[in-house]
Amino acid sequence: MSEPVTMPDDDEPLLIADGLSKNYGRLAACRDVSFSLHPGEVLAIVGESGSGKSTLLQLLSAQLAPSAGRVSYRMRDGVLRDLASLGEAERRFLFRTDWGYVHQDPAQGLRMAVSAGANVGERLMAIGWNHYGRIRDTATTWLERVEIDIGRIDDAPKTYSGGMRQRLQIARNLVTAPRLVFMDEPTGGLDVSVQARLLDLMRNLVSELNLAAIVVTHDLAVARLLSHRVMVMKGGRVIETGLTDQVLDDPREPYTQLLVSSILPP
């Protein structure tokens, strides 16, 4: 079995979603979703287009206000806080430091016209780093960690391939040592060979850094490789949830059985 490695026993949840719902007029994009996520735990949210998984990710990452319910997050001081009640400074801290957000399209998460080094260094400067040499050294280390040739550090990501851009986006997110990373179809637009490399890289980083992650994907292979737990969404609801290999090897719900049986064997 190749389930993801290492998940420490940590009894205090990092994030708690409680009765989250989002309506757009009469359309319920997300209905009554509750779960908790622990430090170092990777949760995959799977489902087809329109199932509500992207809406849920936006609710969880405070980019969208819920119509009902709440998201609580354990700040670094150990206190659990309702995201809706955070002050501006606390929100900024989350977005700039304690959280990462990996977009499907790297162009949304990167500044395409500035150098790769600056893309990584910018997150450090935003949290007060001001020593050029240290910033550059750290950026270099991170480019190496995501397997980008450091000879390309001064090139802008618009000159990079899709796979390199995605790896750069990951470096930019992880440089501030976040505790939670949101990923929206992180391997979505990539070739299969590039996907495998990226997945392997993400899997190692997540376990080495003890990151918690919430990964939205329609690709069950991504869920199997990266996540400890999976939530299957349909019509805005979570219809099945559990240990990833349990849900994928022994699916119970008709829709989950359909998803699993629709995978073509390699």
Which spans of this chain sit near other proteins (rule: CB under 8 A)? 1-3, 5-7, 9, 38, 41, 196-197, 199-200, 203, 207, 225, 228-229, 242-243, 245-246, 249-250, 252-254, 257-258, 261
Cβ closer to other proteins: 175 or 259? 259
Beta-carbon contacts of 254 under 8 Å, excluding residues fewer than 6 positions away, are none
Nearest in space to 35 (alpha carbons), one of 45, 26, 48: 45
Q: How many helices and strands in the chain, by DSSP H and E?
A: 10, 10
Cβ closer to other proteins: 104 or 244? 244
- Cα Rg, the chain, nearest whole Å: 18
Minimum Å gap between C-beta 9 and other proteins is 6
DSSP H or E segment with residue 258: helix 254-261
- Rounded to the nearest 5 degrees, what angle is found at the Cα of 105, between the Cα atoms of 224 and 6? 30
- Taking CA atoms, 52 is separated from 34, 59, 79, 218, in Å, by 14, 11, 29, 12
Cβ closer to other proteins: 169 or 195? 195
Minimum Å gap between C-beta 197 and other proteins is 6
Minimum Å gap between C-beta 243 and other proteins is 4
- The residue behind tokens 């501006």 is 88
Cβ closer to other proteins: 75 or 201? 201
Minimum Å gap between C-beta 235 and other proteins is 16
Minimum Å gap between C-beta 262 and other proteins is 10
Cβ closer to other proteins: 119 or 217? 217
* Beta-sheet pairing, 15-24 with 68-74: antiparallel
